Amino acid sequence: MHALFCVLDLSNAFDASVFTVACTAFWSCCRLGKLIIISTSSFDSSQHVLQSSSFIHHSPSDGVKYSILQIPWTKTSHIEGANIIVANLDNITNAFTAINHHLTTNTTILLDTPFFTYETANGGWAAMTKPWFLAHCNQVWRLADLLKLTKQCFHIGGAMELLHGVPPDVVAIQGRWKSQAFLEYWRKIESILPLFVTASFSDSHAAMINSSMDSFARRYS
């Protein structure tokens, strides 16, 4: 995530859109399919998040700002949609700042276009697609000698990062998982951890995650 921040040109509308999608998918533990479209021909205004979609800012009395991005449709909730919680984290990759930057960078986009649409050099616009997004991210990571990642890695990676200090129950809510589904997902933790282990990921961190997940498993039988 930090490699994206360092390499992408956030004054460029396309790069700003790529960075915003990455930050939102990662920190909100969100599948890419909820945020961007597979292709321009697959766009459906009744199912995909639009520029006109509600992006509500909240400033509670405790001073922790956050926003809610409303998704119109999901596989499980259908037309009830879902709310994506976007917290204002103390991190250069936080989605709260990235989304606001994206919206101010792409001010001429029509309201009935996909939310992560960006302005083009010829004065038009284009909707961000999964292939363009993943290709651009992996181009950056390849230059930084990092692993090539797939669309699921943002969802998984965000949850892994949050589990360093956030209770599993809260991570489950952030990722909109049902408790049993979430637990089944993390039973595969031994095959997921190697993807995200770095030199700074200590044994104590791994032990803390395992202890936290054991406690979660006992609580929900």
Domain residue ranges of the chain, discontinuous segments joined by +: 2-143, 163-219
> What pTM did the predictor assign?
0.83
pLDDT at residue 137 is higher than 90: yes
Whether 93 contacts 26, CB under 8 Å: yes
d(CA 5, CA 19): 7
Q: What is the pLDDT of residues 2-24, one digit of tens each?
A: 999 999 999 999 999 999 999 99
Interval 190-215 mean pLDDT:
63
At 199, the pLDDT band (50, 70, 90 cuts) reads very low
Q: What is the pLDDT of residue 194?
A: 58
In the chain, % of residues over pLDDT 70: 86
Q: What is the pLDDT of residue 93?
A: 96
Interval 160-176 mean pLDDT:
83
pLDDT at residue 82 is higher than 90: no
Give the single-character DSSP code of 56: E
Q: Is 122 exposed, middle or buried (0-12, 13-18, 19+ CB in 10 A)?
A: exposed
How would you classify residue 105: left for phi > 0, otherwise alpha for psi between -120 and 50, otherwise beta? Answer: alpha
